[in-house]
């Protein structure tokens, strides 16, 4: 008789197990939501429930603070650990999630009928898990409804949602889930280069000749070639020596790739000693390299990184992931986010280039803060491993368009750009003219509203803010990460596209130019038996700050305002200034 109550209790426990588990995972709370459809986008239709997407889950990293602390220590020339960059394995160990986080996420997946062992991708550190799910399944998991949204200006369509939720328990274990509320595609983001009215470059043979660094001709003020840049930034006489070790990487998207034949034409016209030089093509996640209809952006990047750093080995990474959305497609299309594709790919490599450049960006406020923070932390991993990461600062000054907030209040404020606002990258603004250089009016610059001002730039930025006084009060976040950090030429670049020379402008010109100079500095360091420079900003704002040509005139208007003004010292138009290789070489020796 005593067995009956025990049996009843056991049965009650078994019956109650599933509802209790269901409550655990059905107790949803909003993770991120927009109050309005991001500007430029419009709802188009409901995607098919069986349309597949790759859901990325970014788990909280158990030792993230230790990673960032290590990053600053190995990047600070005054620290005893300077240059002692971390190995891939050391970084992976620091970014690994806590076992409790892994267990919670895997239990949640199992609740939704997903075997964690079937994950489409896991990062080496385990902090990113990618699973392939249908739209209907993603909607159940995230308590949301997906839509197909159309971006008229770029012709892009994406599968996104206005908000998403996670079980309360997962909020302490998960940083971000994508694709969800980040609408930016690299088509809509790309704004840092543009083709100018066609210019005649004249006697092509004259551009192949080297220019004395003591007498940069006035023609370089309107027509930029590698010879102009090498003279302006004092790299003409330097011959790379560590070419077996030192590498430079260019990350590209949108199906763009750099054309081999165009590079040879560029070399024959603008740098004859490099004729026959090549670069490595790497295709990530379906990236293209058909060698037909090359992209202006891709050719610009590789022609000028090569034009400055030759014969340093260059690699162009063509990352796919953004073909047009097809309603009847049952494979992942542009639901992917190529930034994450490229970052997860490159961080999974044992050996990576010591220098990177990327020429894409978007208004910071259009990027969900959880997404921006997760991507920024991935750049911290690159820096910790000894890579210098350059990003163009944008082409809209302090902001383009109406510059109103997207939080429902419609306040007018300056619009910082991301990833330029990430404190773990080196943001490159733009200049024009020569003898002297001046800030170009579209040079992106300002202050982040997501990221706090890092200590490495406090002194420089405080000096600028003290001089600014109350001007523009309320339009920017004076305590935010300030950018750009540095600058380089940004207009009149002669680029060969389809065999024809085009004139190109934008901070897309500035970033690969600056990266070329950094690659030479890394070559020098490595050839001397030293570590590469890695994350540059702590060095640049301290012992190397005298290695730049201070830009003291020009401004970056936007948002209906005059914008900031370049002046003595750091400013949010040209940063610390443009590089002087010889001075920097002496400072990093």
Nearest to 329 by CA among 119, 148, 118, 130: 148
Q: How many CB atoms lie within 10 A of CB 410?
A: 10
Instruction: Judge whether 508 counts as a catalytic residue.
Output: yes
Contact (CB, 8 A) for 392 and 510 = yes
Nearest to 448 by CA among 473, 425, 419: 419
Contact (CB, 8 A) for 578 and 548 = yes
Does 550 belong to an annotated binding site? yes
pLDDT for res 529: 98
Asked whether the CA dihedral 182, 187, 191, 192 is positive or negative, the reply is: positive
DSSP calls for 502-533: EEEESHHHHHHHHHHHHHHHHHHHHHTT----
Rounded Cα–Cα distance for residues 247 and 314 (Å)? 6
Q: Is 335 exposed, middle or buried (0-12, 13-18, 19+ CB in 10 A)?
A: buried
CB contact set of 398 (below 8 Å; sequence gap of 6+): 414, 415, 445, 446, 475, 476, 556, 557, 558, 559, 561, 563, 564, 572
Q: How many CB atoms lie within 10 A of CB 218?
A: 9
pLDDT for res 39: 84
CA dihedral angle for residue 498, residue 500, residue 505, residue 510, rounded to 10 degrees: 70
Asked whether the CA dihedral 102, 104, 109, 115 is positive or negative, the reply is: positive
**Superfamily name and number for 194-588:** Peptidase S8/S53 domain (3.40.50.200)
Q: What is the DSSP letter of 571?
A: B
Half-sphere exposure of 338 (CA within 13 A, CB side): 31
Do the strands 194-195 and 121-122 form a parallel or antiparallel pair, or are they unpaired?
unpaired
Rounded Cα–Cα distance for residues 173 and 482 (Å)? 30
Rounded Cα–Cα distance for residues 42 and 87 (Å)? 45
Contact (CB, 8 A) for 204 and 269 = yes
Q: Where does 158-278 have alpha helices with state H?
A: 186-189, 204-208, 226-232, 260-270
Here the tokens at position 486 are 């540095």
pTM of the model: 0.91
Q: What is the DSSP letter of 297?
A: H
Instruction: Judge whether 301 counts as a catalytic residue.
Output: yes
* CA distances, 476 to each of 152, 459, 472, 556 (Å): 29, 18, 7, 14
Q: Inter-axis angle of helices 88-95 and 64-75, to 10 degrees? A: 140
Q: For residue 438, what are the β-bridge partners?
A: 432
Q: Which of 508, 510, 511, 555 is catalytic?
A: 508
Does 308 belong to an annotated binding site? no
Q: Which of 262, 301, 337, 370 is catalytic?
A: 301
Splitting the chain (589 residues) into consecutive groups of 10 residues, what average pLDDT does each group show? Answer: 41 46 86 92 92 93 97 98 98 97 97 94 94 96 95 83 97 96 64 52 42 72 96 97 98 82 97 97 81 85 97 92 47 57 92 94 90 95 98 94 89 95 98 96 97 98 98 97 98 96 94 98 98 98 98 97 98 98 97
pLDDT for res 323: 43
pLDDT for res 188: 45
* CA distances, 577 to each of 488, 540, 550, 584 (Å): 8, 10, 5, 12
**DSSP H or E segment with residue 142:** helix 135-142
> For the chain, how far is it from start to end, CA to CA, in angstroms?
87
Nearest to 460 by CA among 568, 312, 351, 583: 568
Contact (CB, 8 A) for 121 and 131 = no
pLDDT for res 337: 66
Here the tokens at position 551 are 């830009």
Do the strands 355-358 and 248-252 form a parallel or antiparallel pair, or are they unpaired?
parallel
* CA distances, 113 to each of 13, 19, 22, 168, 550 (Å): 22, 16, 13, 19, 60
Q: Give residue for tokens 């159940």.
A: 140
Return the percent helix, strand and coil in the chain, to nearest 5.
Answer: 35, 20, 45
Rounded Cα–Cα distance for residues 502 and 495 (Å)? 5
Q: Count the helices and strands in the chain (H runs, E runs).
A: 16, 26
pLDDT for res 299: 94
Q: Which of 54, 127, 262, 297 is catalytic?
A: 297
pLDDT for res 197: 59
pLDDT for res 321: 61
Does 346 belong to an annotated binding site? no
**Per-residue 3-state assignment (H helix, E strand, C coil) for 454-471:** CHHHHHHHHHHHHHHCCC
Q: What is the DSSP letter of 440?
A: -
Contact (CB, 8 A) for 331 and 340 = no
Contact (CB, 8 A) for 544 and 534 = no
Phi-psi category of 202—alpha, beta or left, where left has phi over 0 and alpha has psi -120 to 50?
left
Domain residue ranges in the chain = 23-61+96-183, 194-588
């Amino acid at each position: 008789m005593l067995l009956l109550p025990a049996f009843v209790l056991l049965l009650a426990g078994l019956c109650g197990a599933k509802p209790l588990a269901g409550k655990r995972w059905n107790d949803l709370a909003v993770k991120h939501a927009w109050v309005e459809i991001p500007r430029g986008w419009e709802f188009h239709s409901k995607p098919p429930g069986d349309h597949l997407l790759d859901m990325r889950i970014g788990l909280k990293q158990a030792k993230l603070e230790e990673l960032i602390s290590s990053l600053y220590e190995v990047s600070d020339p005054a620290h005893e650990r300077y240059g002692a960059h971390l190995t891939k394995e050391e970084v992976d160990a620091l970014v690994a999630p806590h076992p409790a986080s892994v267990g919670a996420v895997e239990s949640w997946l199992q609740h939704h009928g997903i075997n964690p062992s079937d994950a489409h991708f896991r990062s080496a550190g385990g902090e990113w898990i990618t699973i392939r799910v249908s739209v209907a399944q993603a909607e159940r998991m995230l308590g949301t409804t997906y839509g197909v949204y159309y971006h008229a200006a770029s012709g892009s369509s994406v599968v996104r949602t206005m908000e998403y939720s996670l079980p309360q328990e997962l909020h302490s274990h998960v940083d971000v889930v994508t694709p969800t509320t980040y609408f930016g595609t690299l088509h809509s983001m790309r704004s840092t280069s543009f083709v100018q009215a066609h210019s005649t470059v004249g006697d092509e043979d004259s551009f192949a000749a080297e220019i004395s660094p003591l007498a940069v001709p006035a023609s370089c003020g309107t027509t930029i070639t590698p010879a102009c840049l090498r003279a302006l930034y004092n790299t003409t006489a330097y011959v790379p020596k560590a070419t077996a070790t030192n590498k430079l990487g260019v990350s590209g998207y949108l199906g763009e790739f750099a054309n081999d034949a165009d590079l040879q034409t560029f070399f024959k016209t603008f740098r004859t000693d490099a004729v026959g030089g090549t670069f490595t093509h790497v295709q990530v996640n379906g990236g293209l390299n058909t060698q037909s209809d090359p992209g202006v952006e891709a050719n610009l990047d590789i022609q000028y990184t090569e034009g400055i750093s030759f014969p340093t080995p260059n690699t162009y990474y063509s990352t796919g992931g953004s073909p047009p959305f097809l309603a009847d497609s049952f494979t992942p299309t542009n639901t992917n986010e190529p930034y994450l594709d490229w970052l997860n790919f490159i961080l999974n490599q044992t050996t990576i280039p010591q220098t990177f450049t990327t020429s894409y960006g978007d208004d910071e406020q259009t990027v969900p803060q959880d997404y921006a923070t997760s991507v920024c932390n991935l750049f911290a991993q690159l820096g910790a491993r000894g890579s210098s990461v350059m990003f163009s600062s944008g082409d809209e000054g302090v902001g383009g368009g109406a510059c109103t907030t997207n939080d429902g209040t419609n306040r007018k404020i300056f619009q910082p750009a991301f990833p330029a606002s990430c404190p773990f990258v080196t943001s490159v603004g733009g200049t024009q003219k020569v003898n002297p250089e001046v800030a170009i009016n579209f040079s992106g610059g300002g202050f982040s509203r997501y990221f706090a001002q890092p200590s490495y730039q406090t002194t420089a930025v405080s000096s600028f803010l003290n001089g600014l006084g109350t001007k523009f009060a309320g339009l920017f976040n004076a305590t935010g990460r300030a950018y750009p950090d540095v600058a380089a030429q940004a207009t009149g670049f002669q680029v060969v596209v389809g065999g024809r020379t085009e004139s190109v402008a934008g901070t897309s010109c500035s970033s690969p130019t600056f990266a070329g100079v950094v690659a030479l500095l890394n070559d020098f360091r490595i050839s001397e038996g030293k570590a590469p420079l890695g994350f540059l900003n702590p060095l640049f704002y301290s012992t190397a700050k005298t290695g730049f040509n201070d830009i003291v005139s020009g401004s970056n208007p936007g948002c209906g305002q005059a914008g900031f003004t370049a002046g003595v010292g750091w400013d949010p138009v040209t940063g610390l200034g443009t590089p002087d290789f010889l001075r920097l070489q002496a400072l990093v020796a």
